[in-house]
Each structure stands twice: as structure tokens, then as C-alpha cells.
Amino acid sequence: MKRIGVFTSGGDAPGMNACIRAVVRAGIYYGLEVIGIGHGYQGMINGEFIPLQARSVSNILQRGGTILKTARSEEFMTKEGRAKAAKNLKEQGIEALVAIGGDGTFRGAIALYEEHGIPSVGIPATIDNDLYGTDYTIGYDTAVNTALESIDKIRDTADAHDRLFYVEVMGRTSGFIAVEAGIGGGAEYIAIPEEQTDYEEIKNVLKGFRKDKTSSIIIVAEGDEEGGAFKIARKVKELYGFDYRVVVLGHIQRGGSPSARDRILASKLGVAAVEALISGKFNVMVGEVKGEIKLTPLKETFRRRKELDPYLLKIAKILSI
Ligand code: F6P
């Protein structure tokens, strides 16, 4: 193999740049040419190909976002779009891809292989941490810390006013950010898509509020089956009369300089992805499980559900009394 492509796709995640750097430098170290592809799958269709050298990725390790840009491409969802992307990749002499992103990115990589024979190795990068086959995804640790910083600030004003706040964090189908930011921020209740929201329990934890607690914070994952923080807050008010404020943290969780953990994970997985490619291991995701590099078939990473740690769920309840 002589030439590989690297791209980021889907929602950006802090650490994507550190990962691009690792892929480029490992590729060059092992004698490959590395072509960066701008705007993910959309850039394959539009022909955004940028040859990258070791120095092209200088001074990006610590930056949020992605120098290659990212997109959620509608056109790539069509057979015609994928055919155009594959034709362009072949014209560029790109023999394999390193796909940095989440489940949507990996679905695209599988389609490119099944329809056009272009193989990929996936690297898990999404703040949601919702991929099977890796303990953590790139960007998750930074997102939790960003959410925590905000929760701490909200706690100050909640405490000053004796108020109840609902803080909505990201997590389209999973509660990973909510659970860790909730425990780290001392949440009174954490609403997540994996569990039915329990209004009786919310009532019980809020008993302490006003009596001997001066503030209460309920963390809601955006993908909660009840439909988000505003809906839960309104329902609790209807049921039990608690007045409230809602803060939706939104995309600030996706930005910012990556944490040490995210930079190191991104660096490890970037090198591991290139090593997987040169040893002929395709259509797998490189992940880290209990400190070891692990390869998981791309399909399994989103077909199998990564479970939340039951111990964390248990202590969140114990600590909220
Ligand atoms: O996949 C990461 C994520 O940030 C989710 O938590 C969120 O639901 C989604 O992306 C938002 O996507 P967009 O930026 O396209 O609105």
C-alpha cells in the first residue's frame, strides 16, 4: 500500500486534530503518502484532497475542532453520491481510508467497502462515547470536563438564589456525559435515555431542596425519552410545583482544547489505525479497552450497545440524598 486518505466526519470532537496529526505522522513514519480529505464524505464527492506532510500537522495537537473540517453529508447517503466519492478516491490513488468519527462515519465506511471495495479503519471520535469496542471515544473526556465547568458555575447561582436548575447535556442516544458530569457536579438526579425517568424519585430527592438543601441540579441527557430538560422541568412543576430554571449546554461541549486524556487517546489510536492498515486489517475500529488496543469490526461498534457502568448509576443515587 502506498497512499491512504484521512478524514473527519459527523459531529466534531475535541482531539480530532491530535488524531489527524497522529495518523499523518505515523503514515509518513511507515513510508505512506497521506492525503487529507476536507469536509468528510462531502469532500470526497467535491474533490477536496490535500496532500499532508509531517509539518502540515504542526501546532494542531492542542486545538479543538478539526483542521480537515467535517460535515454530515446528505449527498453521500445516496448511491450516486457514494459512487462519485469512490471514483474520486480511485482517481487520487487512495487505496484505504482512516475514518475519524462516530457511528454515521462508520456506516459510510462500510458502504464504501461493500459497494466499491475501498477499505477503511475507523477511529472512534464523538463526545457521546456511544461506540462499542472502546472504553472511551476521543472527545468524551473533554466534553465531560466542559460540562462540569458550567455545572459548577450554575451551582453558584443556584445556591445564591436557593434555586432548582435543570441542565441539559448532549447525548443523542446515550447518557455517558450526563452520568459522569452528574456525579462530578453533585447532581440531585440524572435523567438518561437508558432509564425511564422516575418522577417519584425526583419528588423524593427534591424533598431536601428548600428544607435543608439550598440548591438542586437535575442533569438531563438531550436524548432522554421524556424529550429533554424543558419537558421534564414543566412536568415536575405541574406535578409537584417546583419552580425552575433550565440551561441547555449545547455545542459548547463540542469545542475547546482537548484534555490530556483525549490528546493521548487520539495519539495512540491514530498510530494504531495506521499500523492496522499496513498489517492488512480492514473494516475494523481501533479502540482502547482496559489500556490495550483492541480491533472491533466496524459493524459491531454500533450494532452492539455499550452499557453504562452500573456502579456509577448506583453511586449517583446514593450521593444525591
Ligand atoms: O454526535 C455528537 C453530538 O454532539 C450529539 O451529542 C448531538 O445530538 C449531535 O451531535 C448534534 O449534532 P449537530 O451538531 O449536527 O446538531
Question: Which spans in the chain are helix H?
Answer: 16-29, 40-46, 79-91, 103-116, 140-161, 176-184, 199-211, 229-240, 260-278, 298-303, 310-318
Residue 125 confidence (pLDDT): 98
pLDDT in tens, 174-195: 999 999 999 999 999 999 999 9
Task: Establish whether 186 is an annotated binding residue.
Answer: yes
Residue 222 CA to ligand 1 center (angstroms) comes to 10
Q: What order do you get walking across the sheet with 49-52 strand by strand?
A: 49-52, 33-37, 3-8, 96-101, 120-124, 284-289, 292-297
Residue-wise DSSP of 28-68 = HHTT-EEEEETTHHHHHHHT-EEEE-GGGGTT-TT-SS-TT
For 3-139+258-303, give the CATH class: alpha beta
Residue 208's pLDDT is: 78
> What cell was used for 311?
456502579
How remote is the C-alpha of 211 from its chain's centroid? 39
Q: What is the pLDDT of residues 30-39, one digit of tens each?
A: 999 999 999 9
> Considering only CA atoms, which residue is closest to atom 15 of ligand 1?
11
**Which pLDDT does position 48 carry in this prediction?**
98
Residues of the chain whose pLDDT is less than 50?
none
CATH class of 140-254: alpha beta
Could you give the CA distance from residue 126 to residue 245 in angstroms, rounded to a whole number?
28
Strand partners, 213: 209
pTM of the model: 0.97
- Which single residue is written with the C-alpha cell 495537537? 61
Q: What is the pLDDT of residue 136?
A: 98
Domain-wise residue ranges, the chain: 3-139+258-303, 140-254
Same fold, 3-139+258-303 and 140-254: yes
Strand partners, 292: 289
Q: Which residues line ligand 1 (CB under 6 A)?
A: 11, 72, 102, 126-128, 170-172, 222, 254
Residue 128 is among the residues annotated as catalytic for this protein: yes
What pLDDT, on the 0 to 100 scale, is given for residue 207?
A: 84
